[in-house]
Amino acid sequence: DTSHFIGALWRADGGHCDPSGTTHAYVKAARALGASVERFTRVLSLGQRRDGTWDVVTDKGTVHAEHVVNCAGLWAREVGHMVGIELPVLAMEHHYLLTEDIPELAGREKEIVNTTDYAGEIYLRQERAGVLIGTYEPHGTVWSPVKTPDDFSMQLLPEDFERLAPYFEVGFRHFPALGRVGIRKAVNGPFTFAPDGNPLVGPVRGVRNFWVACAVMAGFSQGGGIGLVLSRWMAEGDPGQDIISMDLARFGAFATPKYTSLKVPENYSRRFRLAYPNEELPAARPVRRSPIYDRLRAAGAVMGANFGLENALWFAPEGVAPTETPTYRRSEAFPVVRAECQAVRRTVGLYETTNYGKYEVAGRGARAWLDRVFASRIPKPGRFALAPMLNPAGRIMGDLSIACLAQDRFLIVGSGFAEEFHLRWFWASEPPADVSVRSAASTLNGVSIAGPRSRELVQHLVRDDLSPSAFKLFQVRETAVGFAPAILTRAGFTGELGYEIWTTPDYFASLYDDLWEAGRELGLVHFGGRALSSLRLEKAYGSFNKDFRPDYTPAETGLDRFVDFSKPDFTGRTAALAERAAGPRRRFVVMEVADADAEVVGYESIMKDGAAVGYVTSGAYGHCVGKSLAAGYVPSALAREGARFEIDILGEMRAATVRLEPLYDPQGLRLRS
C-alpha cells in the first residue's frame, strides 16, 4: 500500500542465500584446502603451553593448535571464560513468520525484492510462494543472559505473539497481501550481538595466539569476509584493511556484563531506525565519569560518551535547555557552539581532555623501544613531539604525541576511542623486560587551556616563567599548577596559543577550581567537543579514527612530515619509503563547501564530473572563518588549490573547493605566539 510510503531506495545487488547451503559450501572449500571439520564435538577447556600454542581439550580428545579462534556463537562467552576474558556479547530472541502461499506470487519467474520497511520496523522477502516477515521490536527479550546451556543446539524458542502482534500488524497494513493469507510457521530463535550491533573480531591483548570472531549476527553471510580478515591478520600481522568498526578493541573494561545487558537491547530495538550524527544514546550512561563531571553538568554541559567516558559536547548557557534534537541539519546547538569557538579565538577557553587516550612508558630500554615502534623522532627530555605509528604495510596505526618527562620516562597521548586498540598494538610490539607500558586512563585527568589569554591564565597559577622564550611550543615540564602537581605541555588542538595540563584524579577538581577562579576576569569559557571539531578543521588538523585510519598512509594523510626516514629501523619503514618514492595515490584535503543548513558528517562521496573520486572523512562548520568545511581524500592529481568538486549533502549537490592552506592563521603565528 504505497500510501504509507514517500519513497524508497533500490539496491540492485540485494538478495539472499540459503544458510545451510552456504555453510556447507564453506566446509567443502575448507576441506579441499586441507582443513578437518569435527561435528558434535564439545570443547571442555583450553590450555596454553609456554611456546604460546594451545591444547584444545574436547570430549573426543585433545587437539594441539598454534592459534585458537573463538567463533563459538552463542557460546562465545563461555569460551572466553576459558582464557579468563569477559566478552561483551549477549543473545536476543528474534521472531519471524512464514506465510502461506500468496496468490500474487504464484507463477512469477523472479522473486520479489527483499524489502526493509524502516518506519514499520519490519523486513520481508519471498520464501517459496509465500513471504518471510520479521521484526526488531522496540522492547526485545534477552535470551539466557548469564550462561548459554551446554545442551542447547538448534532448538526453537516459544513464540510470544501477544507481545509482537502490534509490530507484525504494521506489516500487514503496509503490505495488504500478507493479511489475506494465513501463517504457515512461526520461528523464534536466539542470535548474538555486541553492544553496538557490530561483530567482535581480532586478537585479544595479553592472550597470545587467541582470536575472536563472534557477535556476528549473520554468520553464514558475513563469515567469508571475517575469515579472510582473520587469515590475513594471523599470517601477515595485518587484517589488510581498516576494520575498526568490528574490532574487539573498540571496547574496553567499561563493557562489563551490566553494560552489555543494557546496550544490546537498546541496539536491537533501534536496528531499523535512522541514526542521526548528533544523537547520543542513553542506555548504560553515565558509567565512567571524571572528578569534574558534576561541575561540568552544573555549567550546562551536554554530554556524549567516548570509550564509555562522559565528555562535554557543548555547554548550554543560561536560558537554553541542555538538550539537542537529533537531526541531519544544524541543531539548536549551532549558535551555542559558534559562541564557544569565538570565545576561544578571542579570549580563553577550557576543554576537558580526560577522554584522550593516555599511556605511560618507562624503563631503561624505553627510548629504544619507542624508536622502533614510532616512525617519528623520539623527543629529548622536556620536549613534546607529534608521532605517527605505522603497521608493517606502512599504514597509519596511530597519530599520537609523545612527551619526554625524563630520559627514560614518557607520556603518550592519543585518541580516547583507540585506547585498547593502541594498548594492544604496544603489547604486540613486544616491549622488552626493562620497559613498562601501561594505560594512564584512570590515573591522569586533563584540561586544555586555549586562546590568546591562555598564557596569562596559566601564569597566574605557576611559578615557572611561561614567556614565549622561556616555555616554547612543544615544551613540557612537571610543575605545580595551583594546588595540583601536574604535567604542563605547551600544545593544543585548536590552533591557538594553548596548554595541556595533566594531574592525578585526587587533584583534578582542585585544578579545575583554581583555573576557573583565575580565569573569571579574563573571560574564561567552557568549550566542548563540537567546538573543538570546528576549530581543528579551520586549521586543517586531521583526527585519528575519523580522518586518519589504518586504510591510509603517511604520505596520503600528510603525516609524512613527522616521519624520520633517517632512522635505520622502525615498523613500516620499508613500505613508507616505497610510497615516498612512488608518491601517494590520494591525499587528505580540507574543502570549503557551499553553505546551506547542514554539514557533511562523513563518508559522503566526493564527485568530479559526475563520478565519485573520493569520500569525506569528517566535517563541521568553521564558525570563525564563516565556512562549511569538509575533510576527505581525493586523487593526488586532483589535490590542487582551488580544485572544484561536488558533495551530495541531503540530496543537494554542493560545490566543494580544495584549500591547501588552513583557512585560519595559515602561518601558525597564533599557535607560536
- Residue 644 pLDDT level (bands cut at 50, 70, 90): very high
- Residue 220 pLDDT level (bands cut at 50, 70, 90): confident
State the Cα–Cα distance between residues 194 and 176, nearest whole angstrom: 35
**Strand, coil or helix: what is 351?**
strand
State the Cα–Cα distance between residues 202 and 255, nearest whole angstrom: 16
What is the pLDDT, as a whole number, of residue 164? 87
Ranges 53-67, 216-230, 493-507: which has the least confidence: 216-230
**Beta-bridge partners for 65:** 54
What is the pLDDT, as a whole number, of residue 376? 98
Percent of the chain at pLDDT exceeding 90: 93
Strand 396-406 to strand 436-439: parallel, antiparallel, or no bridges (unpaired)? Answer: unpaired
**Strand, coil or helix: what is 477?**
strand
* Averaged confidence pLDDT in the chain: 96
Strand 498-503 to strand 484-489: parallel, antiparallel, or no bridges (unpaired)? Answer: antiparallel
Q: What is the DSSP letter of 153?
A: -
Q: At what angle do helices 529-538 and 334-346 cross, to 10 degrees?
A: 60
Tell me which amino acid residue 50 is: R
Longest pairwise C-alpha distance within the chain: 87
State the Cα–Cα distance between residues 214 and 519, nearest whole angstrom: 50
What is the pLDDT, as a whole number, of residue 564? 98
Let me know: does 591 contact 658? Beta carbons within 8 Å.
yes
- Residue 596 pLDDT level (bands cut at 50, 70, 90): confident
Count of positions (residues) in the chain: 673
Residues 320, 325, 327, CA angle at the centre, nearest 5°? 135
State the Cα–Cα distance between residues 189 and 253, nearest whole angstrom: 30
Contacts of 352 by beta carbon, 8 Å cutoff, 6+ apart = 290, 292, 296, 311, 312, 445, 446, 447, 448
What is the pLDDT, as a whole number, of residue 217? 85
Using CB atoms within 10 A of its CB, is residue 581 exposed (0-12), middle (13-18) or buried (19+)? exposed
**Strand, coil or helix: what is 561?**
helix
State the Cα–Cα distance between residues 488 and 141, nearest whole angstrom: 50
Residue 106 predicted with pLDDT over 90? no
State the Cα–Cα distance between residues 82 and 654, nearest whole angstrom: 54
Using CB atoms within 10 A of its CB, is residue 49 exposed (0-12), middle (13-18) or buried (19+)? exposed
Residue 218 predicted with pLDDT over 90? no
Q: What phi, psi does 326 have (nearest 5°)?
A: -60, 130
Residue 13 predicted with pLDDT over 90? no
The sheet carrying 384-390 orders its strands as 384-390, 396-406, 409-414, 357-362, 436-439
What is the pLDDT, as a whole number, of residue 154? 82
Using CB atoms within 10 A of its CB, is residue 248 exposed (0-12), middle (13-18) or buried (19+)? buried
Q: Which of 639, 662, 643, 649 is nearest to 595 (CA)?
A: 649
Dihedral of CA atoms 598, 603, 609, 613 in degrees, nearest 10, equals 150
Alpha-carbon 404 to chain mean position = 28
Report how far apart, in Å, the C-alpha atoms of 96 and of each of 160, 182, 222, 338 are: 11, 14, 20, 48
**Beta-bridge partners for 413:** 358, 401
Q: What is the pLDDT of residues 391-444, one digit of tens each?
A: 999 999 999 999 999 999 999 999 999 999 999 999 999 999 999 999 999 999
Classify domain 549-670 by CATH architecture: Beta Barrel (2.40)
Mean per-residue pLDDT for 255-270? 97
Report how far apart, in Å, the C-alpha atoms of 312 and of each of 305, 316, 350, 475, 601 are: 9, 11, 11, 27, 19
Ranges 99-103, 166-170, 394-398: which has the least confidence: 166-170
Strand 130-135 to strand 122-127: parallel, antiparallel, or no bridges (unpaired)? Answer: antiparallel
Mean per-residue pLDDT for 207-229? 92
State the Cα–Cα distance between residues 532 and 345, nearest whole angstrom: 11
Q: What is the DSSP letter of 155?
A: P
What is the pLDDT, as a whole number, of residue 163? 87
What is the pLDDT, as a whole number, of residue 17? 86
Dihedral of CA atoms 573, 578, 581, 585 in degrees, nearest 10, equals -110
Using CB atoms within 10 A of its CB, is residue 472 exposed (0-12), middle (13-18) or buried (19+)? exposed
Mean per-residue pLDDT for 35-63? 97
Strand 142-143 to strand 183-193: parallel, antiparallel, or no bridges (unpaired)? Answer: unpaired
- Residue 467 pLDDT level (bands cut at 50, 70, 90): very high
Q: Which of 117, 157, 116, 119 is nearest to 140 (CA)?
A: 157
Which residues belong to CATH 2.40.30.110 in the chain?
549-670
**Beta-bridge partners for 233:** none
- Residue 129 pLDDT level (bands cut at 50, 70, 90): very high
Residue 142 predicted with pLDDT over 90? yes
SS (H, E, C) 200-211: EEEECCCCCCEE
Q: Is the peptide bond before 286 cis (omega within 30 degrees of 0)?
A: yes
Distance between terminal CA atoms of the chain? Answer: 66
Residue 15 predicted with pLDDT over 90? no
Question: How many Cβ atoms are within 10 Å of 59's Cβ, its own excluded?
Answer: 9
Let me know: does 278 contact 331? Beta carbons within 8 Å.
yes
Domain 1-273 has what CATH class?
A: alpha beta
State the Cα–Cα distance between residues 495 and 537, nearest whole angstrom: 10
Ranges 84-88, 132-136, 293-297: which has the least confidence: 132-136
- Residue 107 pLDDT level (bands cut at 50, 70, 90): confident
- Residue 18 pLDDT level (bands cut at 50, 70, 90): confident
What is the pLDDT, as a whole number, of residue 4? 93
Strand 183-193 to strand 200-203: parallel, antiparallel, or no bridges (unpaired)? Answer: unpaired
Ranges 232-241, 279-288, 347-356, 538-547: which has the least confidence: 232-241
Ranges 66-75, 115-124, 335-344, 568-577: which has the least confidence: 115-124
Place of cell 557490530: 198
Which residues belong to CATH 3.50.50.60 in the chain?
1-273
**DSSP-assigned letters across all residues of 174-240:** HSGGGGGS-EEEEEEEEEEE-TTSS-EEEE-TTSTTEEEEE--TTHHHHHHHHHHHHHHHHHHSS-S
Strand 627-635 to strand 611-622: parallel, antiparallel, or no bridges (unpaired)? Answer: antiparallel
Report how far apart, in Å, the C-alpha atoms of 111 and of each of 135, 182, 284 are: 21, 20, 42
264: region left, alpha or beta (phi > 0 left; psi from -120 to 50 alpha): alpha
Q: Which of 366, 321, 384, 316 is nearest to 562 (CA)?
A: 384
Here the cell at position 71 is 567463533
What is the pLDDT, as a whole number, of residue 374? 99
Contacts of 661 by beta carbon, 8 Å cutoff, 6+ apart = 540, 641
Place of cell 612508558: 361
